[in-house]
Amino acid sequence: MREISQEIKDEYEKIKDKISFEEFLNKMEEYKKENEDVSFMDDISIAHMVIGNYITEKNENLEESKEFWKIKDLETGKQHLNLLGRVMNLSNVKKFTSKKGREGKLANLILADDTGRIRVVFWTENINLLDKFQEGDIIKINDVEVKQGFREDEAHMNIRSSLEKQDSQNFPDFPPYNDKITPLKDIKGDMEVNVVARIVRIPRIRSFDRNGRDGKVASLELQDESGTMQFTLWNKDTALIEDLELKEGDAIKIMGAQSRVRNGEVSLSHSWIGRMVKGDFDVPEYQENIIKLGDAHEMRNVTLVGLVSKVYDTITFERDDGSTGKVKSLELEDDTGAIRVTLWNEDSETEIKKGDIMKIIGGNIEFDDYSGTNYRVNTNWNSKIVINPSIDKKLKDVLSEVGKYIKPIKISELNNIEDDGEEVDVVGRVVNLYDPNEFQRDDGTAGMVRTTEIADETGMVRVSMWDSKAEYPLKEGDAIKIENARTRLGDYQVDLSVGRTSRVMKPSEEETEKLPSLKDVESMIYQDKKINDLAEGDRDVSIVGRVLSMGEPTQFTKSDGSSGIVRSMEIADDTGMIRVSLWDDQANAPLKEGEAVKIENPRINLRNDRIEISVGRTTIITKEKEDETSLPALDEIQEQLYPTKKIEEIDEGDQNIKVRGEVIDIRGNKILFEMCPNCNKRVNWVEDAYVCDICGEEIEKPNMLMIIGLVLEDDTGTISMTFFRKSAEEILGMNTLEAEEIIAATGDEGSLEEKVGDLVGRQITVIADASFDEYNEEVRLNAKKLVDIKL
């Protein structure tokens, strides 16, 4: 059984001699269902309706029967009363949402008779009665209930309330209504006034924090013949801008506005009992004064229109009180000049792009020696910003002419720029993208830079993206637009620097319409070359080859003291073979012998009279799909590249020759040699420590290098051959670490002599280079790859 409040029980006492308590509760339930959509109906109101029906049926009244009540005699709890009085104030209709989520409306009026004043509340179901009267009229309101309000008693209408307009002449004792219109210049603080004015500015509705709750405010600027003044709408009253469809230039009448003085300036606020009406009132037409940007000087509350020629990213900063703020800068231009604009906080979130027309109403112009345009426009909480506003055709044509140059330039046009630091916009496709690099600035702060290369149908440019711009999500093939990039003049080309004042974004469909695909860009930029066609100094070339061999990574110390890594490999196509050096991060590329690879934009060097390829961070290595490559198979390439020679046919300088023979002798029993980890040179054991003569340092733990020397014989002669590193491990069938462990376990460097000796009598086939040994005055072989080994 549901709990019944004592207040409901007290109401029942008024008619307990008419019906039972159970019948009373049942009738309440019936009324609840009938009025479930009525916004102001609570249990007490429903109980009053039940009681009212029984009083009407018997023509009895629990209160003294009167045609209407004097306001001074009203008390909380009195019901079914009639009121008579003059309308002193009438509010606009306000919308609300009930606790149950139902939408409703309400309006307030102040009713006065010769004894006092009271607030009367109209609810959703009574709103249509507002059309029957206006301020100053005398009305009779039938069937209201008096309730305790926020500060004092107030009368509430119900679903059966009615209203009748009366003849004012019959009530001479009622207080008069002051319908005087006050000129704006005559308004002082703490006044309730009626004004007629024209709206000259409607700023955006702004949010603020009011004791943990969201508040709203909008300050309209009004103008009449006497001057201008701000008129502020607070919280739910800000909805009147939309409800009344207000716009600049509208004439309005405001009744019951409240004035106040703040910082020496008088302003008006919309009162909870005030009303605003839009109409054809007699006020001067508003003449908008748009200043030319070339005439800018220190001014307040100005209106400007210009073309957005530059936009910078929004910056978030921390205020002294610990809160965060936002600021965004841009530049406006017209046919007379340019000016920097600073947008703060909410204004900084305005969607703006280059080429937009921007109108600022209520900005303040300040001198700014650092802006580049000498002056700066600051917006404030009461400024209005309009993007691409309706403007007259003449001004629109002027700004269109101004904006002809405000568009991205073609990449090939960068080569015409002769100055560092020029700001340009470009649109291109990402061709090459390199990993970000962290660095430390002179002031000790950490920085980050990422290099990418972008191209359009006219050429390619290298772009350095700094700090936060280096974190912009990109992948090869992406279309990208960069605004405010700064030029950097190099020895042979112009590069671009993308820093704090630059913007990186996705271009529009129109901007990418003529942008070639990644495949087309690569074919346009890179010249495909065969290996035998490469020449020293070649740039922007693309080579496709098959991996013949992969060396082990080698660490070294750079001139600045930092460590580096290099790895060698050989690749070949159907025209020849070339050595490739992979530096630093590229040395870790997951490549295997036999794979087809494409190398784009490498450095082509001449070393020891041979063309070699150097692959650093600006070079791209990708694996070719086997079903798409035109390269011969690995065995076909090897057969072509490695000519077989008898020992007697070998000449000094022979490269990549295939030699077959029997191992007839081993040269030396030491196969592991200590090497300096810094310079990779042999170290010496001196006074219980390893010392590198090159570095001049004591080496705590040297690297180990496996070297195996042997003598090879065929039916034409004999030749000495040396196996280094990987080739030595291949022929021994054991890696360097395993050899170290065996020697460490036995304590004897000769412990592997038997295993090395097992090579004698084996038939081997190797790929090797021939060189002349001046010490022994003989030609000898340096093994590069073990092809085969047999008993």
pLDDT at 245 (0 to 100)? 94
Q: E strand or H helix at 230, and its extent?
A: strand 227-234
Cα 188 vs. chain centroid, distance in angstroms? 48
Q: Cα separation of 250 and 238, whole Å?
A: 16
pLDDT at 35 (0 to 100)? 65
DSSP type of residue 204 = P
Q: Cα separation of 647 and 659, whole Å?
A: 7
pLDDT higher for 252 or 676?
252
64 confidence band (pLDDT: 50, 70, 90): very low
Q: Cα separation of 582 and 605, whole Å?
A: 13
41 confidence band (pLDDT: 50, 70, 90): low
DSSP type of residue 625 = P
Which residues have C-beta within 8 Å of that of residue 182, sequence separation ≥ 6? 191, 193, 194, 195
Sign of CA dihedral 239, 242, 245, 249: positive
55 confidence band (pLDDT: 50, 70, 90): low
- Percentage of the chain exceeding pLDDT 70: 96
CB 338 within 8 A of CB 332: yes
Provide φ and ψ at 400, rounded to 5°: -65, -40
Q: Cα separation of 668 and 658, whole Å?
A: 25
pTM of this prediction?
0.58
> Span 225-232, mean pLDDT?
93
> Span 439-446, mean pLDDT?
87
In this model, does residue 40 exceed pLDDT 70? Answer: no
Q: Cα separation of 271 and 260, whole Å?
A: 12
Alpha-carbon separation of residue 187 from 182, 224, 402, 635 (angstroms): 7, 12, 45, 99
Amino acid identity of residue 468, one-letter, is S
> Span 563-573, mean pLDDT?
90
In this model, does residue 1 exceed pLDDT 60? Answer: no
pLDDT at 37 (0 to 100)? 57
pLDDT digits (tens, 9 = 90+) for 608-632: 888 999 988 778 888 888 888 889 9
Q: Cα separation of 259 and 161, whole Å?
A: 35
pLDDT at 6 (0 to 100)? 80
CB 304 within 8 A of CB 293: yes
Q: E strand or H helix at 387, and its extent?
A: strand 384-387
> Span 377-397, mean pLDDT?
88
> Span 158-180, mean pLDDT?
92
pLDDT at 70 (0 to 100)? 94
> Span 156-165, mean pLDDT?
91
In this model, does residue 62 exceed pLDDT 70? Answer: no
Query: Nearest Cα to 710, choosing from 652, 761, 647, 658?
Result: 761
pLDDT at 104 (0 to 100)? 87
Q: Which of 51-60, 162-171, 744-753 has the highest mean pLDDT?
A: 162-171
